[in-house]
Amino acid sequence: MKKVILLLLLLFLISACATEDITSDSIERQVTLIETATISQSSLQQTLELTGQLLPQTQVPLISPLPLEVETVHVEIGQNVNRGDLLITLDNEEASRQVHQARTAVEELQAGLEKVDEFNQNLEQGVSNLQAVEKDLNKSIERSQNLLETLSTEEETDVALLEIIRSSIDVSLKQAELAQAAGSLGQATPISTFELEAQLNQAKENVRQAENALESTKVIAPISGVVGKLDAVTGQTVIPNNPLAVIVDLTNINATFAVNSYQVAKLHPGMKTKLKIGGFADPYTGEIKTVSPIVDPQTNSFTIEVPITNEDLLFKGGMRVTALVSLGEIQDVTVIPSEAVLFENNEPYTFVVDGTKVRHQALELGNRDEQFYQVLSGVELNDVVVTSGKQRLVDGSEITIRSE
């Protein structure tokens, strides 16, 4: 009985090994049935195909310059807003305190400047009074001298002497008043207001900055549009200069494309385009408005823009869009059937037949029409490429060409 069991076990192991060998051999020898086409020269109706996305012409990020706490969020993403609407309220306690302090400083400096101006005016008035006293003194002296000159007769002596005494007393009083005024003024000098005025101007600037800081605690919509982004939660402390929200105007948007040097040389403002927008069956006819004159050093590409009117707000920012631009007909160019071209990470390639196998071949493409792509590099005339069955292939796959 044990011998029978051992014999059966041995037969089972031999059978399993044989099955594994057959399976491995069949995988290694798997052959893909394909259809092919030959690379040729032909005339080509130039239709440049561009892939891009819809971007709003106007989008405004809203930031706070200060790390303030969010008190209230008044809107939601996707909500329509009008210019001047309050979107977010930030804590304004510290900003209000600074405004009060700045205004108080201005009031104190203004009061001090007024007192200095008053002192200087009084000093100036004192100098004027001194000049008036000096003038009166000179008149009194002149009068006394005239009286002395009139003492010609005895009859007039008593009267004239009285007048001379009175005049002398007047001169003495004037001299005393003049000396007192001169002594008082001699100890006082005008106060310069230059420094106070400079401090007042700085204090007014501080008020302006404090009021701006207070105003910034209210995040207001600068344009009418839609809340495209919102990064604010009640109670959080905002990061300075980080967008709290983005307001976008979707009524006017651009179909935006990044093109290479070969493509940009064929394009210019005013060219008609047919746009196919993802999610919409009907094409949209537009016109190129902007062709960037310089390359973007980060992407090594040029920017093309086609404006689109979007009054009904059907199109959204970021939607994928394809543009077909007619460039006219060109003669005798190397072409490859569009069904022979595949894309990986937006990079075109094809499979070229090499005996009973295929090789993966990268392509550089130019213009296209409904049936063919212009080939700039990658394949040569009379190369045979796979048109059907290519999705099951990898580099080095064995193939069999379907016979007609």
pLDDT tens by residue, 253-296? 999 999 999 899 989 999 999 999 988 888 899 999 999 999 99
pLDDT tens figures, 37-64: 999 999 888 788 899 999 999 999 998 8
Instruction: Note whether 105 and 73 are same-domain residues.
Output: no
CATH number at residue 373: 2.40.30.170
List Cα–Cα distances, 17 to 9, 10, 11, 208, 380, in angstroms: 13, 11, 10, 89, 47
Instruction: Note whether 192 and 259 are same-domain residues.
Output: no
Instruction: Note whether 280 and 340 are same-domain residues.
Output: yes
Report if residue 171 sits inside a domain. Answer: yes
Instruction: Note whether 260 and 353 are same-domain residues.
Output: yes
Question: Last residue of a domain, which of 210, 232, 264?
Answer: 210
Which pLDDT does position 20 carry in this prediction?
45
Instruction: Note whether 234 and 285 are same-domain residues.
Output: no
Residue-number span of the structural domain to which 304 is assigned: 40-60+249-401
Instruction: Note whether 237 and 274 are same-domain residues.
Output: no
Reported as type and span, the H/E element at residue 53 is strand 40-62
Confidence bin at 167 (pLDDT 50/70/90): low
Which pLDDT does position 393 carry in this prediction?
92
Across the chain, mean pLDDT equals: 81
SS3 227: strand
Rounded to an integer, what is the distance from CA 68 to the centroid of its chain?
21
Confidence bin at 140 (pLDDT 50/70/90): low
User: Number of structural domains, the chain?
Assistant: 3
Report if residue 76 sits inside a domain. Answer: yes
Report if residue 85 sits inside a domain. Answer: yes
pLDDT tens figures, 65-79: 888 899 999 999 989
Residue 234 has pLDDT above 80, yes or no: yes
Report if residue 138 sits inside a domain. Answer: yes
Confidence bin at 134 (pLDDT 50/70/90): low
User: At CB < 8 A and 24+ separation, what contacts does 127-132 make?
Assistant: 127/185, 129/181, 130/178, 130/181, 130/182, 130/185
pLDDT tens figures, 310-364: 888 899 999 999 999 988 888 889 999 999 999 998 899 999 999 999 999 999 9
Instruction: Note whether 73 and 166 are same-domain residues.
Output: no
Confidence bin at 18 (pLDDT 50/70/90): very low
pLDDT tens figures, 349-388: 999 999 999 999 999 998 888 789 999 999 999 999 999 9
Between 272 and 160, the more confident residue is 272
Q: How many C-beta neighbours within 10 Å does residue 252 have?
A: 13
* Cβ–Cβ under 8 Å, residues 364 and 329: no
Tell me the C-alpha distance between 152 and 145, whole Å: 14
Report if residue 235 sits inside a domain. Answer: yes
Confidence bin at 227 (pLDDT 50/70/90): very high
Instruction: Note whether 201 and 107 are same-domain residues.
Output: yes
Backbone angles phi, psi at 3, to 5 degrees: -65, -40
Segment 126-132 shows an average pLDDT of 63
Residue 27 has pLDDT above 50, yes or no: no
Instruction: Note whether 226 and 199 are same-domain residues.
Output: no
Report if residue 368 sits inside a domain. Answer: yes
For the chain, helix, strand, coil in percent to 5 are 35, 35, 30
Instruction: Note whether 236 and 157 are same-domain residues.
Output: no
Instruction: Note whether 226 and 361 are same-domain residues.
Output: no
Report if residue 75 sits inside a domain. Answer: yes
Report if residue 198 sits inside a domain. Answer: yes
Nearest to 366 by CA among 341, 389, 391: 341
Instruction: Note whether 254 and 145 are same-domain residues.
Output: no
Tell me the C-alpha distance between 161 and 95, whole Å: 81
* Cβ–Cβ under 8 Å, residues 42 and 367: no
* Cβ–Cβ under 8 Å, residues 349 and 336: no
Tell me the C-alpha distance between 241 and 236, whole Å: 15
Confidence bin at 26 (pLDDT 50/70/90): very low
